[in-house]
Structure 1
Amino acid sequence: GRNPDEVKRRRKAEIDENSRLGLVFDTDPVNDKGGNSAGTERQYQRDTESQHEE
C-alpha cells in the first residue's frame, strides 16, 4: 500500500490546483453538493450565467 499521508498530500495539491485553475469535475467527490442531478444542472446554469455577466 501507499503511505496515507502522501496520498492525502497529493490529493490536497490536486484539489488546490483544480480550484486555482477554475476546474470543476462532476465526478470529483469534492464538488458533490449532495443535490440531485436536476439541482446540480440548475446550479451550473446559474454559475455559467453569472460568469458571462462579469
Structure 2
Amino acid sequence: MFGNLKILSITPMSFDDINETHALQENMTLSQLREVIREIYPGEDELYVIEFVVAE
C-alpha cells in the first residue's frame, strides 16, 4: 500500500539525545531502540527526527 505524507519538520539530533519518549513511540525500551538503531546505522551519531502526517 502506498500513500502520501506531508512532512511537517525534519530535526537533527544526536544518538545520545534519544530518550524514553522516542522509545515509547516505537513501542520499545530505550536500550532496545538504541540497539536497533546501532544495528541499522552503525557508527552514525547524527540522526534525524521526521515529523509527518498522512496526507489525503
Which structure carries more strand by proportion?
Answer: 2
Instruction: Normalising by structure 1, report the TM-score.
Output: 0.34
More helix by share: 1
Report the TM-score when normalising by structure 2: 0.34
